[in-house]
Structure 1
């Protein structure tokens, strides 16, 4: 595998005597979208703030392109772009003037680079308009353009789809995927919307009480459950329910002529064969796909999602 562009090494944060972040270790690679999930108070925002040097670390380090955030902040942070919470823009200035203003803070950003990032986020037709007239989705896209001006290797987006309508969410998701795949940027995303993370991310890290409890690809996360929820359409339905109760030690729920039960994957053929043996007509069998939300709640063990 290629060298990671960002490494968290035993990252800890203690406030007073209370440990907030308890030794995080993971790597982020170029060209991937890494989702950062956790319930309320898990420590996601604290971790992101330490990654970009907004708050100090108690112990450990963040290494970006070989440079330590702790000991070599200036060289480390030049490889990072980010939006933590909402992008702040000057509403009385045009989109173009906003980007021009920010570009003056960064040595070597050319007019060509500004035009390139504008094309990348699809705002070519609206750069002369004042930002005060932009929709929330357009402001988010302009914020991403601003964060990309200096060609960062790592882009950190805290809640990039917050407050957007469904079409805005879809657009931002497409830009994030494009950045990773075409620009080779490592994108770190935290979000409330688990279904969006499922469609957007390559890998997911789940944090709880300041500890990393799981880190895996989205496909692994969705395939690792042993039990499957199965929906069966069969007749006579009452006889089918009685047969399922005999064949399994799980509860079968009957609703709208559908029988639903949760069983081990390898038991599905035996259960269907048992129904057939009892002369029950089977019209459909559906294995309901588990979602990232199911996986998340299995791991966290609580209903709160930040």
Structure 2
């Protein structure tokens, strides 16, 4: 990764005397997809709104491409595009006319740039249709096209897959990855769907009670523990269970399966021991850690915003 295109420096927000955001410090790198997670009331949406320049900050600053949002708002925010909540379009106009209309609000946007963003989001064949006929996924892609018109360095997407069906979710996820990898845009994403964030993001930041409690590359989040949950289908399962208990291992039995936790290097030893006792092994499944596991470990059992 190259230099950070956005830095949060001691970012704070107080509302009616109550600290909502308590001093956030982190940066977003060029061409990465950064996932922003938090439980209900953690301050995630407030932070996103400050990053997008939609609400003021109480203290600290956001630096975008070297420009301070606090001291040089226009120069900083010109590098940001985004969808916070839902993209708003004129339903009685075609997708193309919507983009042309918005392009007139920004100096220097050419017809060629409008056509370029249409190709980027893959809507070439549907732009003459009225937005009222668009699916949710198409409206979301049109909203992303609108946010990209002025060629931003940072794209902020708050719940970009909200309300989409599985194919629409996959579509948006693939597009976001392609946008970051091919265009070098830094994308900041929040979502309810942790499995999607796991597939979509390069790094994950988790906020709780207005404080950043973890920020890590996704591959480290998912691969940091050698402890694995193992499920072995064996017969006779009673004898297999007895072998585990004699070795002092903690094991649960469900029908013809044994479920236990072990270090990675211990798994083949358990399997070999059962084979030595003429126990038939039909399957060995190692359950990998997920982003949901890590999230709940850090914030506890709580609703996701």
Check whether TM > 0.5: yes
**What's the counterpart of residue 263 of structure 2?**
264
**What's the counterpart of residue 283 of structure 1?**
282
**What's the counterpart of residue 10 of structure 1?**
10
CA distance in 1, matches of 2:274, 2:258: 12
CA distance in 1, matches of 2:229, 2:46: 37
**What's the counterpart of residue 247 of structure 1?**
247
1:146 aligns with 2:171: no
CA distance in 2, matches of 1:246, 1:40: 46
CA distance in 2, matches of 1:194, 1:22: 25
Q: Given the superposition, is the C-alpha separation of residues 229 and 125 from structure 1 closer, same or farther in structure 2, using an over 3 Å criterion?
A: same
CA shift, 1:255, in A, is 2.2
CA shift, 1:249, in A, is 4.2
Q: Find the residue that maps to 1:5 and give its secondary structure.
A: strand
**What's the counterpart of residue 29 of structure 1?**
29
**What's the counterpart of residue 137 of structure 1?**
137
**What's the counterpart of residue 98 of structure 1?**
98
**What's the counterpart of residue 161 of structure 2?**
161
**What's the counterpart of residue 64 of structure 1?**
64
Instruction: Note the alpha carbon deviations across 1:144-171, whole angstroms, 9 max, x for none.
Output: 0000000000000000000001111111
After TM superposition, the structure 1 stretch with the greater mean CA deviation from structure 2, 294-303 or 277-286, is: 277-286
After TM superposition, the structure 1 stretch with the greater mean CA deviation from structure 2, 160-169 or 254-263, is: 254-263
**What's the counterpart of residue 52 of structure 1?**
52
CA shift, 1:245, in A, is 2.5
Instruction: Note the alpha carbon deviations across 1:87-126, whole angstroms, 9 max, x for none.
Output: 0001111111110110011111000000000011111111
CA distance in 1, matches of 2:199, 2:225: 19
Q: Find the residue that maps to 2:125 and give its secondary structure.
A: helix
The alignment's C-alpha RMSD in Å is 1.4
CA shift, 1:274, in A, is 3.6
CA shift, 1:292, in A, is 1.0
CA distance in 2, matches of 1:268, 1:41: 41
CA shift, 1:238, in A, is 0.7
CA shift, 1:296, in A, is 1.1
CA distance in 2, matches of 1:41, 1:303: 11
After TM superposition, the structure 1 stretch with the greater mean CA deviation from structure 2, 154-163 or 238-247, is: 238-247
CA shift, 1:58, in A, is 1.2
CA distance in 2, matches of 1:264, 1:305: 31
CA shift, 1:76, in A, is 0.2
**What's the counterpart of residue 212 of structure 2?**
212
TM-score, reference length from structure 2:
0.96
CA distance in 2, matches of 1:149, 1:108: 10
Q: Find the residue that maps to 1:24 and give its secondary structure.
A: strand
CA distance in 2, matches of 1:266, 1:41: 41
**What's the counterpart of residue 304 of structure 2?**
305
CA distance in 2, matches of 1:107, 1:25: 33
Runs of 4+ residues over 6 Å off in structure 1:
none
Structure 2: any 5+ residue segments left out of the alignment?
Answer: none
Give the total of aligned pairs: 305
1:153-192 → structure 2 map (5 Å cutoff): 153-192=153-192
